[in-house]
Structure 1
């Protein structure tokens, strides 16, 4: 936890530096907004690392990390853990929340366009989740629509869904504060957070399509994992925008989900050295 909190603080330091640049050098504000988007993307990666930790209840450290790295990208620890751990368990199978069928490049582009608003959509998850917390009939639609549940079960009394719905309170309060600030300083909040937030949503959609192949798998074996996952964004553009903090080392992440993001490059090198013919090549730069 201390390492993840330091990493989150580092991203916020870069974001603040970009904000100062927007004020003093407004001519490069659009470029700086893109850089802020990359750091917001990195915050989501940090929260992603946290959900792979073996925690049952959120202590002060996790709550602080959620505030720093989760709410700014419209997610909670509970919501991300719900769909992401199911993705790891069922990667490439019909029950995989991130599963997509094979398609032509043009259809893949259409999929990207459809996934692009993912973060604004998650903002809507907050108020809907709070309603679902108080109104049991909404819990199954909440899980299907916003948590990407594919179980086909009635989830009205599911404890995990209820915990996700209850946790939305923090996100709702965060975005109400953002809304209040936007009403008071519309141009400042719009350029400093609103535009980067939308750009981050597009970057997340790109990453989702880049790190998973459309190949159909039959089980959960090593070869199935290698078939449906892919490395991407291993260069400087990836680290800056599309795959920050080593999240592009996706194959080894699926092979060893609890390995820290810091160690994924060395782990990939280990596999390449010992299994050069088995380990898949990156699908995208």
Structure 2
């Protein structure tokens, strides 16, 4: 019979290595190089390679979102130049800002599996409900493109901020947010994302086919990767707190093979159980941390999906 779980594990300090803005910028440069390779294949390789190139670019866009997500967990909240640069190169291409992702993602970590969790996975309810859930998740990143102009309108008109937060920031508080400082800050910084996508529109007017295949379709595929990841890494289990047992119950690892590396779970984000246990640990250090937990709790650590 396995021993009961402690509330929290005594993890060696050398395994708890945090991310840094410099490290995330270096990884973002690698992902941009991967996208450049995909674009080169689109431009010069035979058309038969186009689907593979789209998958490569989509996977790298998904990876940029994962890097922005890692930046959300950094302790600093100042808009210093390295984080502003990371937001521009990793956030705007996937239609997000640090402030917007921080709003819903930190609430998810705080309340994972609880009724107030903005990502809470509902119980299975048949094919129609599953299809509707997929439709909603597939529309997340394209919907984020709309979040920018709506956010700017909400910045100018406080009466729009509650709806803006409910729809685009996944707020579950039930409060009126017209005077909420955090929502106002999220709305204000949408300007950068709007300028980025106005630039994309300008390029699309000049080179419509190149922008469609080089960015538009890969962004939709990346949204599909993101939908698959959200459905794979969380369960519908009801939890009552934030203990080790709760995290084991409501999260799952996934995408630990080649498909994960290609795009379904890039940069080790598929090691989601230990990420929830230690969200400030850098994604690049999750493999060692996961190995420690699997060895320490072999009978309790959830099986990957």
Question: Which band: TM-score by shorter chain?
Answer: over 0.9
Q: Does 1:266 align with 2:291?
A: no
Shift of 1:91: 0.3
**CA RMSD between the two structures:** 1.0
Q: Give the stretch that moved more between structures: 177-186 or 213-222.
A: 213-222
Output aligned runs, 1:106-185, within 5 Å.
Answer: 106=127, 107-185=129-207
Per-residue CA deviation, residues 43-69 of structure 1 (Å, 9 max, x unaligned), is 000000001001121111001101110
Output aligned runs, 1:63-74, within 5 Å.
Answer: 63-74=84-95
Q: Does 1:42 align with 2:63?
A: yes
Q: Give the stretch that moved more between structures: 19-28 or 75-84.
A: 19-28
1:23 to 43, 46, 49: 43
CA distance in 2, matches of 1:205, 1:58: 29
Which structure ranks higher in relative contact order (CA pairs < 8 Å, sequence separation ≥ 6)? 2
In the comparison of the two structures, how many residue pairs are matched?
A: 283
Q: Does 1:87 align with 2:116?
A: no
CA distance in 2, matches of 1:247, 1:174: 26
CA distance in 2, matches of 1:26, 1:117: 31
CA distance in 1, matches of 2:262, 2:121: 26
Aligned position for 1:103: 124
**TM-score (normalised: structure 1):** 0.97
Aligned position for 2:79: 58
Q: Give the stretch that moved more between structures: 214-223 or 40-49.
A: 214-223
CA distance in 1, matches of 2:120, 2:131: 16
Aligned position for 1:257: 279
Q: Give the stretch that moved more between structures: 100-109 or 168-177.
A: 100-109
* Structure 1 residues not aligned, in runs of 5+: none
CA distance in 2, matches of 1:96, 1:209: 14
Q: Does 1:12 align with 2:32?
A: yes
Change (3 A) 1:218 1:61: same
* Structure 2 residues not aligned, in runs of 5+: 1-20
Shift of 1:222: 1.6
Per-residue CA deviation, residues 115-145 of structure 1 (Å, 9 max, x unaligned), is 1011110000000000000001001111011
Q: Secondary structure at the match of 1:92?
A: coil
Change (3 A) 1:105 1:9: farther
Q: Secondary structure at the match of 2:189?
A: helix
Q: Secondary structure at the match of 1:129?
A: helix
Per-residue CA deviation, residues 203-231 of structure 1 (Å, 9 max, x unaligned), is 10110110000111122222111111110
